[in-house]
A and B are shown apart, each in its own frame.
Chain A
Amino acid sequence: MPAEAILEVRDLVKHYPLTRGIVLKKQVGAVKAVDGVSFDLRKGETLGIVGESGCGKSTVARTLVGLERPTAGAIRYHGEDIAKLSGRALKAVRRNIQMVFQDPYTSLNPRMTVGDIIGEPYDIHPEVAPKGDRRRRVQELLDVVGLNPEYVNRYPHQFSGGQRQRIGIARGLALRPEIIVADEPVSALDVSVQAQVVNLLERLQDEFDLSYVFIAHDLSVVRHISDRVAVMYLGRIVETGTEDEIYGHPTHPYTQALLSAVPVPDPEAREHRERILLAGDVPSPADPPSGCRFRTRCWKAQPVCAEVVPPLAVPEWFAGAAGPAHPSACHFAEERHVVPSE
């Protein structure tokens, strides 16, 4: 059943140096935004990456599309490591990996018309669309994302938030990419508009055979749209599996706490829901805890958690069992139901 992996990320690391001194800059440390992340993206699937602010999920997105250079690690697109490419070869690869941004208000240039915004990718990759053909293509794209093709000469401020996000999606589609990296694409939108955009993304995936990396903090949206899910905490993936494995059979304490904290729109669930309340805040990524990074907030932490980094692997007791076995980076991984089932 698993399709071929079109994107393989291996031990991805992105550190931002912390320096002291103005003339003689000295590196005094590093913000370890992403610290050893590996995953595969298969053809036609949606990989959801969830985590709280500061967990490194957006940095992963930016390295995938080449907005940031990784400090170490490999990003292989059809077997070729794009982290090592430059110049023309990199440009060619980038055509196939496009991005949709979170904020539809700041990610569109207010002084460009919608037609220019969506058509701009063709200036960089003129081989995709010959000059005379561009206007028609832009109008087609507007139609595809559910906007009136006659709006090509309007400016972003003439559109609502949801419509602007559609413009951002049309721009992402312009080069007919294989992969779209969407960083919180619906979190700035109102509830009723959010559903429209989620449905649009799903329709486009079928229509254009796209693979998505869908990054969000909203666990309900991620469950809805994803085939597989990776949960991140402080620069690392702590648990990964199919949508059902993560939501129905979580084994990492952080995943369990995260899921149990999501408010469910059902007042009946209020009484009989078990909530895991975490103490304190996420530690600074400049100075992460030794061993397991979650141990400072974990109710299961033992001395071993401070010394040994738990590998992201299928727990032994789990591996033999058929069904929901999946990797979890915890020394004491244990299944626990936290999401009320229907």
Chain B
Amino acid sequence: MATATTPEPAPDPGTPAPALLDVRDLYVEFRTRDGLAQAVNGVSYRVDAGETLAVLGESGSGKSVTAQAIMGILDSPPGFVTGGEVLFRGRDLLKATPEERRKVRGARMAMIFQDALSSLNPVLSVGAQLGEMYEVHQGMKRKDARAKAVELMDRVKIPAARSRVGDYPHQFSGGMRQRIMIAMALALEPDLIIADEPTTALDVTVQAQVMDLLADLQREYDMGLILITHDLGVVADVADRIAVMYAGRIVETAPIHDLYKSPAHPYTRGLLDSIPRLDQKGQELYAIKGLPPSLTAIPPGCPFHPRCPRARDVCTTDRPPLYDVAPGRSSACHFWEETVRDEEPPHAR
């Protein structure tokens, strides 16, 4: 077993067991022709076994880049991790050799991508791609690996798995392809799964099927799950905790119920107010003014201040730290107290 080659550090009696994944103060930058893009600027979050952490953000918020840095699949160059730690069961992956990381990847932590069609190899049958996991990581014989592939396809509820194991990705529907991606991620029974917009490309009825499957499997295997998404609806359905990202920073973390009930950051508040609701015929939608900043020119102070209805002078100069709002809750807003209480901002919307 590949897992046998990465021994655990002996648990230290007296101190609590390390988190499954503990990201500390992570920095990632992209050195591009247009200048230095600061994609991730001091992100910290942790995930425990059996827990679902949702990382919410719009395009360019750094949510996917953080995941790539954790998995060790960052395109480098132009991307570089310039600081921080990625502790997986207490061990810093950023200090591991490429060979060690490769063993962790797939076996201990796996990733599910948004677009299953371009993430699967079009010229290999799905059976061969699933079996490859066992052949490479566990040295299994091809015939046995094929049998395991059928088993996996059964587990993710692909009908007639035995007869479809030789089919190619294009012969499956979008939902079925995403199930194959999930099967591939599950193959070696990892401790952590990172799902990057796993259902964004799917229709709503299929999306519900796939999210349910993912939640069931997570419970069954007691895995940690990081769900990266822009969809506040999907998050509300499955997550335990949520981290909201903006311009490469976490601006708010909270248990799921608290965040929807009383957001502690004006950006979160704005997002919640700007989505049309299925259960109500709204009036005019609240729209956050302006655009997300370019990562090559992040505004000084609080990066959200040019779009924020609560912004005051201090916001343009002082970068807000992550203030503790309550146990397990934090917000990077100087005025989180009035935001939580939802007082009218100084210059009303």
Residues of chain A whose beta carbon lies under 8 Å from any beta carbon of chain B: 52-53, 160, 162-163, 190-196, 198-199, 202, 217, 219-221, 223-225, 243-244, 247, 257-259, 261-270, 275, 277-278, 280-282, 339-342
Contact = CB atoms under 8 A, between A and B. Distances in A.
B204 interface: yes
Nearest to B259: A267
B208 A223 contact: no
B274 A192 contact: yes
B233 interface: yes
A336 B219 CA distance: 31
Contact of B230 (A191, A244, A262, A341): A191
Interface in B195-234: 203-209, 211-212, 230-234
B312 interface: no
A277 B237 CA distance: 14
B73 interface: no
Contact of A340 (B212, B270, B271, B279): B279
A267 B285 contact: no
Given A265-B232, A267-B236, A267-B260, A277 B274 contact: no
Interface stretch (B133-141, B287-295, B316-324): B287-295
A281 B209 CA distance: 11
Given A277-B208, A277-B209, A281-B175, A192 B271 contact: yes
Contacts of A268: 257, 260
Given A192-B274, A264-B277, A257 B287 contact: no
A257 B203 CA distance: 12
B180 to A, nearest CB: 14
Interface in B268-309: 270-272, 274-282, 284-288, 291-292
B271 A191 contact: yes
Contact of B287 (A192, A243, A267): A192
Contacts of A339: 278-279
A194 B84 CA distance: 34
B257 to A, nearest CB: 5
B132 to A, nearest CB: 26
B256 interface: yes
Contacts of A195: 274-276, 285-288
Interface of B: 58-59, 159, 173-176, 203-209, 211-212, 230-237, 256-257, 260, 270-272, 274-282, 284-288, 291-292
A199 B278 contact: no
19 contacts: A53-B203, A190-B230, A191-B275, A192-B292, A193-B291, A195-B287, A196-B287, A198-B285, A202-B284, A220-B278, A259-B278, A261-B205, A261-B207, A263-B237, A265-B275, A268-B257, A270-B237, A281-B175, A339-B279
A269 B238 CA distance: 11
Given A53-B174, A261-B207, A261-B208, 8 more contacts: A52-B205, A192-B274, A224-B277, A243-B281, A262-B233, A264-B278, A277-B212, A342-B280
Nearest to A269: B236
A214 B276 CA distance: 15
A194 B291 CA distance: 11
B278 A247 contact: yes
A217 B285 contact: no
A193 B230 CA distance: 12
Contacts of A340: 279
Contacts of B288: 192, 195-196
Contacts of B59: 190
Most chain-B Cβ atoms within 10 A of its Cβ — which of A198, A219, A281? A281
A206 B166 CA distance: 56
A247 B176 CA distance: 29
A199 B283 CA distance: 10
B205 A220 contact: no
Contacts of B176: 281
A163 B105 CA distance: 39
Given A265-B232, A267-B236, A194 B274 contact: yes
Given A190-B292, A195-B285, A224-B282, A266 B208 contact: no
A52 B208 contact: no
Contacts of A224: 276-277, 281-282, 285
A69 B332 CA distance: 55
A52 B201 CA distance: 11
Contacts of A278: 205, 209
